[in-house]
Amino acid sequence: NNSYHSSVDVAQLETLYDRRCRSPIGCFEVGEVALIGPKLVQEAMEKVRLISKNLKMDQSRQKSYANVRKRDLEFDVNDWVYLNISHMKGVMRFGKKGKPSPRYVGP
């Protein structure tokens, strides 16, 4: 998969093999063997650390954006609220035959 991922900041193929995919058929060069050896394992571990660091940064950024808009809901007696209706397509009709059923019930 050579699609770019914003949370990792690179494509998946670049993350694994440290190069771009040049062919839709295969991404290995002629005569290339499987990834083995201590140097390659060490490089892979460094990439995993970098990816996990990028993911943690993105998660914390998204969490900070979400927490800015979040607030606790407080209801008092005699407050007007809207209730969400579960979807029952075709069972409940509202008014005339052709009119769709309402999504909310409220004041």
- Residue 65's domain comprises 4-69
How many domains, the chain?
Answer: 1
Q: Is 86 a member of any domain? A: no
To the question of pTM greater than 0.75 for the whole model, the response is no
pLDDT greater than 50 at residue 4: yes
Contact 8, 51 (CB under 8 A): yes
pLDDT band, very low/low/confident/very high, at 25 (cuts 50, 70, 90): very low
Give the span between the Cα atoms of 42 and 54, in whole angstroms.
Answer: 19
Q: Is 63 a member of any domain? A: yes
Q: Is 93 a member of any domain? A: no
48-59, pLDDT tens digit by residue? 888 889 889 989
Q: Is 96 a member of any domain? A: no
Q: Is 49 a member of any domain? A: yes
Per-residue pLDDT, 40 = 72
Q: Is 83 a member of any domain? A: no
DSSP class of 104: E
Per-residue pLDDT, 98 = 58
Q: Is 107 a member of any domain? A: no
Q: Is 37 a member of any domain? A: yes
